[in-house]
Amino acid sequence: MAENASHSQEIEAGEESGIAEPDQDQERSKEPTTERDQKAEHTQHAADNDSISNTTNDSTSNTTNGTTTTTTTTTNAALQAQLSALQSDKNKLEAQYRSLLGKLSSMRDTLGSKLQEDAEELDRREAQIAELQTGLNVEQERASTAERQLREEEDRSAGLASEVGVLRSRISSADRTAQEAAEAGAHESASLHRRLREMEAHLDRTKAEKEHWQALADEEHFRAEQAEEAGSEAHLLLDSRTKELDAAGVKLADCSAAQRNVEGLLSEAQMANQKEFDEMKHHYEAQIRGLMEKSEDDARQAADAKASLEIFRQDAERTPGLEQESKEKTLLIGKVRHEAVILNEHLTEALKRLKEYNTSDSVDRQLISNILLQFVTTPRSDGKRFEMLTLLGSILNWNQYEREQAGIVRGGSGRYNNPSLPSSPSSSYLNSAFRSPANHDNASFGQLFVEFLLNEAGDAHEETEKEEKDIGKRPRGSSHVERRENE
């Protein structure tokens, strides 16, 4: 009986060691093992069992058979529990994988809708930029038209006073339009910068979500690897479940491949989104720079228009003075014309009288008196004194020396190409009277008159030379008014 008890204890110890070996194999699952070592261990256990069974008798063999059946049933129950646990883990992994796929699909749909919205927003922004460009072109055309009109109005001195108001209104409207366009461009650039910042924040959030889902995928991959290792250990323990565990491993491999595919698609979509975002960013930055340059050009054009407006305002302020000067000159011209008409009438009357009398011993005293009085009352700076001297020289028939002494000609040649009146009997008579020693009264009067005219002509000649010197010293184009007067 003692031997049977010892044999039964050895059998139980062997079975317990056989049951404990899978646990030890689980602990050594991380170490590499071969099928040859596993077969050797099974062969040794079989040999030990054979040696034990040969030493026992019939009674002990019946007892050991009952005990072995009990332990085998217990082992099968434990393996069944492990298999059910593995099956539940597998179901959990499949559920998590399906939820992960659903989240990825929803995220892909969300990203697609957001990308579509961004594309529509880009189209709308491009349309707005095109409209702004068209408006800027129109305003530039208006500004060029206003400048051309300003140049035309500058050339028209006569209608300057009446058209200054119109030019002011046009330039002010162009200035307001340019300011509005510049403000709109600045607002548009600020909105584009704000949109870029929003897209960058969205990209950061997308990256964070991608990292989160990547961590979840790594965790699921690690769990899948653990499940695959557990399946390989169950395959070593239960040969009957090998096919099911292989199928589970194939499914897990498919899940891993699908997960890797999803990760690849996600990374490709992320790269495509990043590339598209960079292109959009560069495109918007270029558009912003273009808008900033155009805004600066508009500001410069507005400053030029303001400067032109200020110049025209100054011209408009000088316009009343110019109008007053033109009126004075017009009155002076009318006065000169009136005096010329009077002189012409006197000359015509003198010629008529000369033709009527047609004598060689008479002088038109009224004509000489009128010319002399007109010469005396005329200012010395007036050029009509020279014309009066020329007329007197023609009437009195002065010679070259007398004309030089009177200042009518210089150096033997005429100063001005003024036509002389034809000689008449009265002028011949005056000439002969001035030169004849017989007629003492006429000679005295003629000499006195000639001396008086020579003195007046000399004074007028000196004043004329002084004025010419002053005009020569005066700088040309000193002011806008002088240029207008010279024109």
Q: Write out pLDDT tens, residues 297-310.
A: 888 888 888 888 88
Quote the mean pLDDT of the chain. 69
In this prediction, residue 32 carries a pLDDT of: 41
Structure tokens that stand for 416 in this block: 């001005």
Q: Write out pLDDT tens, residues 40-86.
A: 555 555 555 555 455 545 555 555 555 656 777 788 888 888 888 88
In this prediction, residue 20 carries a pLDDT of: 43
> By 3-state DSSP, what share of the chain in percent is helix, strand and coil, each rounded to 5?
90, 0, 10
In this prediction, residue 395 carries a pLDDT of: 78
Mean pLDDT of 387-391: 82
Predicted confidence (pLDDT) at residue 230 exceeds the cutoff of 70? no
DSSP-H helix ranges across 156-241: 160-237
In this prediction, residue 430 carries a pLDDT of: 37
If DSSP codes are grouped into helix, strand and coil, which group holds residue 407? coil
Q: How confident is the model at residue 402 (pLDDT cuts 50, 70, 90)?
A: confident
Select, from the ranges 2-16, 46-60, 266-280, 447-461, the one with the highest average predicted confidence (pLDDT): 266-280
Mean pLDDT of 445-470: 62
Cα distances (Å, whole numbers) of residue 454 to 406, 450, 457: 5, 6, 5
Could you identify the residue written with the tokens 């009352």?
377
Q: Write out pLDDT tens, residues 414-452.
A: 443 343 333 333 333 334 433 433 333 344 455 566 566
Check if the beta carbon of residue 25 is closer than 8 Å to that of residue 233: yes
pLDDT top residue among 332 and 395: 332
Could you identify the residue written with the tokens 């548009």?
188
> Which range has the worst mean pLDDT, 103-112, 174-183, 290-299, 357-366?
357-366
Closest C-alpha to 76, from 33, 115, 19: 19
pLDDT top residue among 331 and 243: 331
Closest C-alpha to 286, from 180, 140, 129, 139: 129
Check if the beta carbon of residue 395 is closer than 8 Å to that of residue 427: yes
Give dist(CA 388, CA 409) in Å, integer: 14
Check if the beta carbon of residue 380 is closer than 8 Å to that of residue 460: yes
Q: Write out pLDDT tens, residues 78-121.
A: 888 888 888 888 888 888 888 888 888 888 888 777 777 887 88
Closest C-alpha to 154, from 323, 330, 314: 314
Could you identify the residue written with the tokens 């058209």?
163
Domain limits, the chain = 2-56, 96-324, 358-486
> Which range has the worst mean pLDDT, 43-52, 101-110, 137-146, 358-367?
43-52
On the 0-12 / 13-18 / 19+ scale of CB atoms within 10 A, 307 is exposed
Q: How confident is the model at residue 172 (pLDDT cuts 50, 70, 90)?
A: confident
